[in-house]
Structure 1
């Protein structure tokens, strides 16, 4: 039961991180013009890998 809740919460966090990346895209593009980058891809990748590992069990 805890494994299912953990996997579900990772899935929700993964989906929210993707949505945040989409919403923050204009800000990220503007910041790139200034030479600064937002590391949202790291969050999405790490949550995606964690979800895949939890789902594989």
Structure 2
């Protein structure tokens, strides 16, 4: 299990920061994990699963 910071989430998804947070608000992107007062990260496996779901939607 690996945690990744926002910069890597942006690189993996090609989404912008505001879009990621908008998707989180809508419930369509994995929620971040709080690491402290001002630090968050995402489970890499959840982000990877989200990407695979997008790929799967393309194939339908």
Q: TM-score, normalised by structure 1?
A: 0.37
Larger Cα Rg: Structure 1 or Structure 2? Answer: 1
Q: Could you say which structure has the higher helix fraction?
A: 1
Q: TM-score, normalised by structure 2?
A: 0.35
| Higher RCO (Cα < 8 Å, 6 or more apart) | 1
